Amino acid sequence: MPAAEPNLPIDWTTFRAVLFDLDGVVTPTAEIHERAWAELFAAWDFTRADYLAHVDGKPRYDGVASFLASRGVALPLGTSDDPPGDDTVCALGNRKNDMFNAVLARDGIAPYADSIALLDTLDALGLPAAIVSSSKNARTVLDAAGVRGRFVTVVDGLTAEEHELAGKPDPAMFVHAASALGVTPADAAVLEDAVSGVAAGATGGFALVLGVDRSGGHADALRRAGAHLVVPDLHVTIGDDDVRPADAPEANR
């Protein structure tokens, strides 16, 4: 297990698997999500601070409920089948989902170059990667970005619903992904940009919880949530010596 404050670049051979959050780590969909949330809650003067505190990284309906509670608004939960609207928590969540998908269909999405570089490094080392995302749109986003095939497994909002897994900040989704890859949390790294996701990785006892602070100004919150290390991008985690043939002998493969 690496030290609490590992050095850069990271020795990825220390781990047997790497678990990636999607939005804000692999693809810039966090920006689309944030715009959709801001439009949904415009009447309540929704701010970036609200986004980070109440909805970032959480399952959609949990985010709706958390934000409404911060404004003293109580709505019935409803069901996932509620039509998009504003009379239940689920209706608001479904309305937000429509907003997100409209932007994704119109503008498309491209993965971060540094994420692809890290995935190339992990492939060369023979280390499997997984996506762990609260979003039920994760597979659609991965397909749109052309990177779904880079991940051995995808644990998303649909998986959580099917297996009754609690959402982040509970570690259940990360633990499920690690199990699907045949490893324990003590052998896996978690890459997250959201406070709730970092907290999930820390609570789950993962060997490394790496906070990704692409926009800056979020590092302290990620550290307080349990990140062992916070980086501005994933390029800084890759050393030239990390890239070696996939059939190179590795003690932990």
Catalytic residues: 21, 23
CA 37 vs. chain centroid, Å, equals: 17
How many angstroms separate the CA atoms of 93 and 84, rounded? 7
How many angstroms separate the CA atoms of 103 and 178, rounded? 32
Residue type (1 letter), 42:
A
Torsion angles phi and psi, residue 206, rounded to 5: -75, 150
Torsion angles phi and psi, residue 178, rounded to 5: -60, -45
Q: How many residues are given for the chain?
A: 253
- Return the residue matching tokens 């959709």: 36
How many angstroms separate the CA atoms of 216 and 109, rounded? 22
